Amino acid sequence: MWFSVKDLHVSYGNIRAVHGVSFDVDEGEIVTLIGANGAGKSTILNTIAGLQTPDQGEIVYKGTNIAGVGAHNIVKLGLALVPEGRRIFGNLTVYENLRLAGFQLRGDELSRRIQRVYGYFPRLEERRGQLGDTLSGGEQQMLAVGRALVTGGDFMLLDEPSMGLAPILVQQIFEILAEINRAGATILLVEQNAHMALKLANRGYVLETGNIVLSGASQDLARSEDVRKAYLGA
Partner 1 sequence: MEFFVQQFFNGLQLGSLYALIALGYTMVYGVLLLINFAHGDIFMVGAFLGVFGSMVLDLPFALTLVLAMVLTGMMGVGIERVAYKPLRQASRLSVVITALGVGLLLENGMLALTGADPRSYPANFIETKAYDSFLGIGLGDVSITNVKILIIVLAALLFLGLYTIVQRTKWGMAMRAISYDKFAVPLMGVSQDQVISITFFLGTALAAAGGILWGVAFPVLNPYMGLRVGWKAFIAAVVGGIGDIRGAAVGGLLLGFIEIFVPAYGKSIGISSTWRDPIAFGLLLIILVVRPTGLFGVARRQKV
Ligand X SMILES: Nc1ncnc2c1ncn2[C@@H]1O[C@H](COP(=O)(O)OP(=O)(O)OP(=O)(O)O)[C@@H](O)[C@H]1O
Q: Which residues of this chain interact with ligand X, rule CB under 6 A?
A: 12, 15, 17, 35, 37-43, 84, 192
Whole-angstrom distance, CA of residue 45 vs CA of residue 207: 13
188 sits near partner 1 (criterion: CB under 8 A): no
Q: Which helix (H) or strand (E) holds 5?
A: strand 3-12
Please say which residue, 139 or 224, places its beta carbon nearer to partner 1: 139
Site stretch for Mg ion (CB under 5 A), options 27-35, 57-65, 76-84, 194-202: 76-84
Write down the least CB distance from residue 35 to Mg ion, Å: 9
Site stretch for partner 1 (CB under 8 A), options 59-67, 71-79, 113-121, 164-172: 71-79
40: left (phi over 0), alpha (psi -120 to 50) or beta: left
Angstrom CA distances, 155 to 111, 132, 138, 145, 168, stand at: 20, 25, 23, 12, 26
Q: Find the binding residues for partner 1 in span 126-145 (CB under 8 A).
A: 133
83 sits near partner 1 (criterion: CB under 8 A): yes
Residue 31 binds: one of ligand X, Mg ion, partner 1, none (C-beta under 5 to 8 A by kind): none
Identify the residue among 7, 53, 65, 76 touching partner 1 (CB under 8 A). 76
Residue 143 binds: one of partner 1, Mg ion, ligand X, none (C-beta under 5 to 8 A by kind): none
Contact 147, 98 (CB under 8 A): yes
Strand partners, 8: 21
80 sits near partner 1 (criterion: CB under 8 A): yes
Three-state secondary structure string covering 145-193: HHHHHHHCCCEEEEECCCCCCCHHHHHHHHHHHHHHHHCCCEEEEEECC
What is the CB neighbour count within 10 angstroms for residue 81?
Answer: 27
Whole-angstrom distance, CA of residue 232 vs CA of residue 234: 5
Residue 140 binds: one of Mg ion, ligand X, partner 1, none (C-beta under 5 to 8 A by kind): none
Whole-angstrom distance, CA of residue 181 vs CA of residue 168: 20
Q: Which residues bind Mg ion (CB under 5 A)?
A: 42, 84
What residue ranges bind partner 1 (CB under 8 A)?
A: 49-51, 70-72, 75-76, 80-81, 83, 87-92, 96, 99-101, 103-104, 133, 147-148, 151
